[in-house]
Structure formats: structure tokens, C-alpha cells
Structure 1
Amino acid sequence: MLTLADVTGFLDDIYPPSLAEPWDSVGLISGDPTQPVQRIHLALDPTEATVGEAVDAGADLLLTHHPLLLRGASQIPATTAKGRVLRAAIKADCALFNAHTNADRARHGVNDALADAVGLVNTTPLVPADDVRLEKIITFVPEDDAQRVIDALAAAGAGALGDYTRCAFITTGTGTFIPGEDAHPAIGQRRVVEEVRESRIEMVLAPRDRRAVVHALRAAHTYEEPAFDLLAMVPLPSDQGLGRVGDLAEGCTLREYVARVAAALPSAPAGIRAGGDPDRVVRRVAVLGGSGDSHLSDAARAGVDVYLTADLRHHPAAEHLDEGGPALIDAGHWATESTWLPLAARLLRERFGDSVRCTVSSVCTDPWSLRAPVG
């Protein structure tokens, strides 16, 4: 029987919570990890309408991109919109889970889906993820204790490389020391030179695990004062990060590319707007699903011809164009991010097969419901 914990564990694997912004709220919002899951409904936002869809579909889980409770709340009565959403989900025994900025940065996430939808190939991150930087811990232990210390460090998170765990490199040599007058040496005597056959252990770790790994080392090490080094490693090139930069198979004008984007993305009342010379040739494109004007400078540095995002503000957009930055396409928040929903549904089906049925919301959750010409 497939459980909620099985599904959320898979989602955490493909959209690691460590990739989320520090201010973000991602993961399980409500639900029992042991409850069975047979139907999953996917939507961009957890609203009364999308929860209603999930309940009508008999879904056991509503998976959304945006969180229900981004900021802390001490009261969530059913007299509020969020309270009504939470009450309806709990009443129907429909769990709530979201993958937000972690799904923005991860491969097979929001920005890969958007890049694919608007025809980009050979994509790389617009802003590479910082969390791919690893550290290395090096310590020296009596040779007979090496495996026990490696076990302790691995349990704290060290030694993980891709699908491999407990990865370590061991060399042997001789350690020497003199215990002081107030020392309580595990090996040797006070004020006497001691030489010990020791193993040098090297293991990588993520920065977030540093405190736990050092604590585990101190607890497991034989010596009263263990010697160890922590090294910051140069980050490796990453395929994870915010936004995507890629190429078009064939170049076209900005006017033509805006028409392609309009045909490729889900329709929303807000429509699509663009800034820049309509006859500008477009070959290289940066995309960032959702609000993106805080990364206008990143798009300019990327050397692209156009930057496709959403929620662009008047003054930052105008200044960007006046300073010779790439052309701009604002395709709307919902339209640029909802392309992720079918991709996430496909990944769930590929992982769990016939054990789960996935449905995708048909509700446009943009707040804008009308668009009228001016004049």
C-alpha cells in the first residue's frame, strides 16, 4: 500500500528541501504520513477552488507549488480563506503538500518545465544553486577505531555522494602527542611522548550538516581532544539553480517569439506583455517562472536576447530596457509556473505506476479575472 510518506519522500528526493529559500515554507502542511494515497491532485495554489477539485476527485493529496502558510499563524479559523482551505482538506482527509522554491531550483522543476514549453534547448541555471558547495572533514583516529568513527559520521550526514552513502577515504600513519598535566588520555601517559598508529579519515558533508557531524565526531572519537580539519571546497558546476538560460533551435524576431510564447503557455486573463524592439532577433533566452524582476541584472549578465518571467514592475523594467538590457516578456505568474504541474504528475506516475492516479487542476488561480482594452 502506497502511503503519504512514500509520496512525500519521493517529492523530497526530486525537489530537495535544502534548495528552498531560508524564508520559504515547503513540505507537508497537513496530513498523516501513514495514510494511504491512491489519488493525487496537482494545482499551483491551495485555494478553495483547487481544494474543491481535489475533494471532488477523491484525492488523498493536494500537491501545490505555493504554500498555504508561508508566514506563521496562531489562528486559522474557518472565517478566513486559509482557514476554509485547511478545514475542507482535513474534513475530506486530503493531505496538503507543497514544493515551492525547492521546485524552482531543482531539475525537473518549474523552470525546466517553463524552458521546455517555450522551446529552449541546452539549458543551464540562470542563478546556480549555492547548496551544491560541499565541505570536507578530516580527522585522525586510532586504527582500530576507524570504522566506528566512520559509522558515526555517516549517521550524522557525512559521506553522501549521489546514490552512495558512507563514502570515506582512509590512509594510515603515525600520530604523536604529549598528554598534559591535567589531561585524561585514552592512550598514553601524562608528560610522556606517545606514538599511535592512526587512520586519517576524509569525508564530504553538506554545510547544513556541519554542526551534527562535528558533534558526532566528538562523541565517537577515542581521544579527549580529537584533531580534525574542516575544509570549504570549491563548488562544482551545477545543473540546479533558479531560472534557466537556453537557446532556440531557430532564431526569430521578438514579435514572433512573443506569439510563440502565447501559443505555448496556458491562457490567462492577464495575457502577455513584452518590452523592447519588436524586430530584435531572439536566439538566446532566460526564463524564470513567477516573480522575476529581482533577477533582471542576472538576465543582463547572462547575455541573452530576451528575459521571460512575470510580475515585472514599471520602474525596474523601464530602467532595465533604458540601460540596454535584454528584451522583456511578462507572461504572468500562473501561466509561467503552471507548466510544472503536468511534469510533476508525469514524474509521480513514472515512479509509482498504477498505484496512484494523478489529476491536474483546470483552475486558473491568477487573481486577475478580466482584461479590457483602454480607450
Structure 2
Amino acid sequence: MTVMGREIIQILEEWAPKRLAVENDRIGLQVGHPDAEVKGVLVALDVTEAVVDEAIRIGANWIVAHHAIIYRPLNDLRTDRPAGRVYAKLLAHEINVFISHTNLDAASGGVNDVMCELIGLTNLEVLLPTYQPSLQKIVVFIPESHHEKVLQAMCQAGAGAIGEYSHCTFNLHGTGTFLPGEGTNPHIGEQGKLEQVSEVRLETIVSDEVRDAVVQAMKKAHPYEEAAYDIYPLELQGERLGVGRVGDLPRSVTLRELAEKLKVAYQLSGLRMVGDGERRVRKVAVLGGSGGRYYRNALSCGADVYITGDLDHHTVLDALAEGLTLLDPGHHAEELVLQRVVDILQRKLPSINIQATTVDTNPFTFL
């Protein structure tokens, strides 16, 4: 069965929607055409020349990467220079590049959740919120004969989702009345005659991003020419989503013990530790990639230790002075999510060869 690029994009954006990304992040399709047929997929952290060569070697014409290949403005596309050679190879071999960056950091089960899972953190909360959907209540009146059909259609479109629960609705039986006018073609009743019908009042919650899809699904499943429904704005808001996590270890450990645990869990040859190695820690903030500028968010959440990459000298001194210990596993720790991406795509696209890169793009070596 032929699979087109839009199917990959849809799968990834359903998991990690663009709205979760931080402002001005470079995400989405950066090279290629969304309607290009998918012959194979290579999942990588970075798009380097070696990664492109690997894609060519395994017959993958789509690369799904975490870090944007077009991040800073291009000054030229000279093919005698390293960056230009990469673009030339991509275009010559018709390889498409799709980027899922801070939206994948924020997504449930994405970069930060994987990093937390590997060290056993529980009671997770968002460190840096980037999105919180508005909620509305939708009420629709349905003849009893079509109640189940309409309920299922609405919930499959995203209505009734509360936390880890789906299909959350309230249903009340009653009598609906209507009088079909001239020119109508009623599913029940006759023109000019008042009709009384046993109906169900269905109430459920929708977030603003799925509201239109839910209404369309409801109308499609509803038997009436004109479905009667209401939408009420609510002061309630949906689950806060965003970058980074704060959670608890099963028990307190020393900073040094946590550092050793991190080396094993993240498959590191070394990391940087800031603070007294014998200090006991339990509440942990995690932000994959470069998160030094958010250390005060970790402090305000009550974290004992902050795990993030690319920490600079002055930020570390400031954080340490304010009582925060830190562990820097490197920016490249984000590669821990690659197999998760492969697994999600492979479940949805079983006929396509999908692999994580074997190329090590970490520019640092611990000696």
C-alpha cells in the first residue's frame, strides 16, 4: 500500500502538535514535498551529511529529525561547503526532511517524558508551560435511536477527554418537540404537524482545538436536517502542556548517586555535576536540550536538582548561589526519544521500513 508524506506528518503532528512548540521554533517540513511517496524513514536527532548518507544507503527518502536543518538564516547554498553539500544530497536523492522539535519536547511521551521515565520520576508536572487549551461544553439533543451513534462519533473526534479518561459525557432523557415547516424533509414527522420525540440531551467537554471537528462529526452522525446543539464557554481550562518536567524520585539519594544513575540510564560515558555530591536530592526538574536559562523555573518548582544540557559557567554560578544543584548530561541526551518515534511511526505504518539512525552526531567526547 502506498504511503504518502502527509500520513507521516499527520501521525507526528497528532502526537506533537505545532501549538505545543515554543514561539518561532523551526518545525515542520523543511525540505521536500508533503505528497512525496514514503519509501523508508530514518529517525535522527540531527541532519548531518553522515545521516543523509545513511538514509541513502538504507533507501529512506524521509528523515524525521529533532533538530532543524534550517535553523539559522542561510547566506548561501555553495555545494563546495559542508552545509551546501548536505542540501545538494537531499535534493539530488529526493529526500524529505521533517522536524519535530520543542513540540516533541512538550508532547506526552516525548523527549522530556522519556528522560523522566528512564530515572523513575513520578508525580510529573510541566516545568515551562507553553500551551493550555480553553474548554467549552457542547450540548446536543439526539433521538434515542441515534444516541449511541452520535456519542461515539463525537468522542472519537476528541470530545469528552478529561485527563487519561475518554468518552466522558452526561446524558438525560426527555421529550423534544418540533414542527417541520414548508420545504423541509424531516427524518421524523411530517410537514405542518407538531412532533414529539423521545430524545437524549448529551453534554460533554471539548477543547478549542477539537471543537470544530467534534461539531462536524456530530452533524454527520445526527439524523436530523438541523441538529439542535449549544456551545457554552467555560472558565475552566484544559491540562497545562509545555517543555520540561518536574517529578519525584522513589526515595532521596545523594547527588552523586543520581549522577551515576543518570550515566547508566542515559548511556553516557560522562556528565557534568554541579554542587555537593553528598547532598541528598529527591525532587528533580528535567529539560532535554539546552535549558540553562530556565533554572529559575526549576527553583520555583521546588526542585533539588536540575537536569539539562549546555550549561554555561555564569548560569551555573548563579544557580548554585541560589541553592540549586545541577547535572548536565549534554544536549545529545535528547536522542533517547528516537526509538519512541520509530515505535509510534511503525505501529501506524507497518509496511514501511522505519529505523533510528546509527550515526553518532554527538560532537563531544568525554576523556
Provide the TM-score with structure 2 as the length reference: 0.72
1:288 aligns with 287
1:312 aligns with 311
Seq. identity, %: 29
1:251 aligns with 252
1:126 aligns with 126
- The structure-2 alpha-carbon separation of the partners of 1:304 and 1:137, relative to structure 1 and needing over 3 Å to count, comes to closer
Partner of residue 362 from structure 1, selected from 359, 363, 366: 359
1:151 aligns with none
After the TM superposition, which segments of 4 or more aligned residues of structure 1 sit over 6 Å from their partners? 157-160, 162-165, 167-170, 200-205, 208-211
CA contact (8 A) 2:130 2:243 kept: no
**Aligned-residue CA RMSD (Å):** 4.6
1:217 aligns with none
Alpha-carbon distance in 2 for matches of 1:356, 1:77: 31
1:347 CA displacement: 1.9
1:55 aligns with 56
- The structure-2 alpha-carbon separation of the partners of 1:281 and 1:158, relative to structure 1 and needing over 3 Å to count, comes to closer
In structure 2, runs of 5+ residues without a counterpart are 140-153, 175-200, 213-225
SS in 2 for 1:288: strand
Post-superposition Cα deviations, 1:16-36, rounded to whole Å, max 9, x if no partner, equal 111111211211122342413
SS in 2 for 1:108: coil
CA contact (8 A) 2:292 2:311 kept: yes
SS in 2 for 1:107: coil
CA contact (8 A) 2:22 2:130 kept: no
SS in 2 for 1:247: strand
- The structure-2 alpha-carbon separation of the partners of 1:303 and 1:26, relative to structure 1 and needing over 3 Å to count, comes to same
Alpha-carbon distance in 2 for matches of 1:160, 1:50: 42
1:44 aligns with 45
Alpha-carbon distance in 1 for matches of 2:279, 2:298: 16
1:296 CA displacement: 0.8
Q: How does 1:65-144 map to 2 (within 5 A)?
A: 65-71=66-72, 73=74, 76-79=76-79, 80-117=81-118, 119-127=119-127, 129-136=129-136
1:57 CA displacement: 1.7
2:236 aligns with 233
SS in 1 for 2:104: helix
1:103 CA displacement: 0.3
Alpha-carbon distance in 2 for matches of 1:123, 1:345: 27
Alpha-carbon distance in 1 for matches of 2:250, 2:211: 44
1:45 CA displacement: 0.8
Alpha-carbon distance in 1 for matches of 2:19, 2:160: 14
Alpha-carbon distance in 2 for matches of 1:300, 1:71: 31
2:342 aligns with 345
Aligned residues: 338
1:338 CA displacement: 0.9
Alpha-carbon distance in 2 for matches of 1:371, 1:16: 35
Post-superposition Cα deviations, 1:88-109, rounded to whole Å, max 9, x if no partner, equal 1221222111110000000121
Amino acid at match of 1:31: H
Amino acid at match of 2:310: D
Alpha-carbon distance in 2 for matches of 1:78, 1:135: 50
2:22 aligns with 21
Post-superposition Cα deviations, 1:28-53, rounded to whole Å, max 9, x if no partner, equal 1223424133x211111111121122
Alpha-carbon distance in 2 for matches of 1:94, 1:363: 20
Alpha-carbon distance in 2 for matches of 1:333, 1:41: 20
Alpha-carbon distance in 2 for matches of 1:90, 1:241: 34
- The structure-2 alpha-carbon separation of the partners of 1:136 and 1:61, relative to structure 1 and needing over 3 Å to count, comes to same
Q: How does 1:200-211 map to 2 (within 5 A)?
A: none
Alpha-carbon distance in 1 for matches of 2:171, 2:29: 37
SS in 1 for 2:121: strand
SS in 1 for 2:54: helix
- The structure-2 alpha-carbon separation of the partners of 1:208 and 1:76, relative to structure 1 and needing over 3 Å to count, comes to farther
1:262 CA displacement: 1.8
1:182 aligns with none
SS in 2 for 1:33: coil
**1:33 is the counterpart of 2:35:** yes
SS in 2 for 1:364: coil
Q: How does 1:167-186 map to 2 (within 5 A)?
A: none
CA contact (8 A) 2:63 2:97 kept: yes
- The structure-2 alpha-carbon separation of the partners of 1:122 and 1:138, relative to structure 1 and needing over 3 Å to count, comes to closer
Alpha-carbon distance in 1 for matches of 2:9, 2:138: 34
- The structure-2 alpha-carbon separation of the partners of 1:113 and 1:164, relative to structure 1 and needing over 3 Å to count, comes to closer
CA contact (8 A) 1:285 1:306 kept: yes
Amino acid at match of 2:288: G
1:159 CA displacement: 6.5
2:299 aligns with 300
